[in-house]
Amino acid sequence: MTPEELTSKIKATFAEKVEELPAVTGIPAFKVKPEHLEEVCTTLVSDPELNFDNLPCLGGIDYPETNEIGVVYCLFSFAKRHHLNLRVIMPRDNPEVISVSKFWVAADWFERETAELFGIKFKDHPDPRPLLLIEEWDEGYPMRRDWEGKDFIRMPETGQEK
Report, as an integer, the average pLDDT of 83-99.
96
Q: Pick the more confident residue, 149 or 124.
A: 124
- Domain for residue 110, yes or no? yes
Model pLDDT, residue 133: 81
- Domain for residue 132, yes or no? no
Report, as an integer, the average pLDDT of 37-45.
98
Specify the range with the lowest mean pLDDT, choosing from 26-30, 52-56, 106-110, 140-144. 140-144
In sequence order, which residues have a C-beta less than 8 Å from that of residue 135 and are 6 or more positions away? Answer: none
Model pLDDT, residue 143: 81
Model pLDDT, residue 161: 52
Model pLDDT, residue 42: 98
- Domain for residue 102, yes or no? yes
- Domain for residue 157, yes or no? no
- Domain for residue 73, yes or no? yes
Average pLDDT, the chain: 90
The CATH number of residue 88's host domain is 3.30.460.80
For residues 139 and 149, give the distance between their C-alpha atoms in angstroms, rounded to a whole number.
Answer: 7
pTM of the predicted model as reported, rounded to 2 decimal places: 0.88
The pLDDT of residue 76 is above 90: yes
The pLDDT of residue 150 is above 70: no
Strands 54-63 and 27-32: unpaired
- Percent of the chain with pLDDT strictly greater than 90: 76
- Tens-place pLDDT, residues 129-139: 888 887 777 77
Query: E strand or H helix at 60, and its extent?
Result: strand 54-63
- Domain for residue 130, yes or no? no
Model pLDDT, residue 142: 81
- Domain for residue 16, yes or no? yes
> What is the residue range of 69's domain?
3-123
Percent composition of the chain: helix, strand, coil (DSSP 3-state, to 5): 25, 30, 40
- Percent of the chain with pLDDT strictly greater than 70: 91
Model pLDDT, residue 157: 60
> What does the chain come to in residues?
162
The pLDDT of residue 158 is above 60: no
When divided into structural domains, the chain yields a total of 1
